Structure 1
């Protein structure tokens, strides 16, 4: 694999959808996000049908996830946790599945693999890449998080007290407090984007070096563990920012 092939794999392809004469560009990252969202919606519907007072089977799984999210949110936000739990639960599940979706590439595809195996159809199979390796996706999620921080601070402190907090403990802190609202989303963006992109790049190099045995072993860390860890860190840091804003 030369550097050009690797760069091509790291980039998202674009598609044009013609709607009433208008060409709407759709990138691979958007398509993968639609897949993840559709999966979460379908699973949510399945797991929340016919709920009973005494949980069994799939209801146990659903309640375990909800309880984990509630406790996780409550631990950071205290008695203000309830309005925020649905958002953080959704964000955690979306990031978790979006980050680990490249586990489905454990059967590598592409021209090199097709030539190596003699199976020409592998060249035409699409490669599923995590949408969070797209800087735009990571940035959009970070902006959503910082907007939530702003909303929480204004709602629970009140506009006047929230503005006053920029001058605490000393008025000289004003420029630094303002800078936080730009530095924090930038930090969230680069941390998520950088880690997922690095893991994806390493896995591509592993696929090239040994396409059958090594990917399955290393994918446990780079796809599953690292993807889950980055989802947790992103949500945890956002929780800390919200907790700081409302206290």
Structure 2
């Protein structure tokens, strides 16, 4: 219970610092859920990896690009939906894509797409590369027997930390 309360306080403080007032209070459960899901998903690959015949069956869900793209797409859709709800479609489109100059509409659309890709691929790349490095350290530990196992253990602990 204390851990859950700490996580709730942590996510609520993030919301209060970025969206003060009543607007931010609506997103408490969403941010808590996203934080918890991403945190647990990232830790799975550190604690548990099941590999049989060079095929990994259990790893971090966030080491799969489709998971991170789905999360990013969900947040993007929610942001657009709430923007349209608050300003109306015309006001939201004008404020988001046509300002400061309507000439920049193609660049604004490209920016939305790149924001989506950046959100998804940054999380995916970090977790995937971390798992690849852990696999390499594990393989290194088996190469020269005890001579490679001894330095591999602290490397593994440091990287997981």
Normalising by the smaller structure, the TM-score range is 0.7 to 0.9
Contact 1:206–1:214 (Cα < 8 Å) also in 2: no
Using structure 2 for the length normalisation, give the TM-score: 0.80
1:210 aligns with 2:141: yes
Aligned to 1:72: 14
Unaligned ranges ≥5, structure 1:
1-57, 113-125, 225-247
Using structure 1 for the length normalisation, give the TM-score: 0.54
Q: 1:147 to 1:109 in 2, by over 3 A?
A: closer
Contact 1:200–1:222 (Cα < 8 Å) also in 2: no
Q: 1:71 to 1:149 in 2, by over 3 A?
A: same
1:130 aligns with 2:60: yes
Q: Deviations over 1:184-219 (max 9, x none)?
A: 111112111111111111110100111555565344
Q: 1:78 to 1:218 in 2, by over 3 A?
A: farther
Aligned to 2:3: 61
Q: CA RMSD in A?
A: 2.5
Q: 1:153 to 1:201 in 2, by over 3 A?
A: same
Q: Deviations over 1:41-85 (max 9, x none)?
A: xxxxxxxxxxxxxxxxx3x33322211111111211222111112
Shift of 1:183: 1.1
Shift of 1:111: 6.6
Unaligned ranges ≥5, structure 2:
143-148
1:177 and 1:222 map into 2 onto residues whose CA distance is 39
1:89 aligns with 2:32: yes
Structure 1 consecutive aligned stretches of length 4 or more whose deviation exceeds 6 Å: none
Q: 1:101 to 1:73 in 2, by over 3 A?
A: same
Shift of 1:127: 5.5
Aligned to 1:185: 116
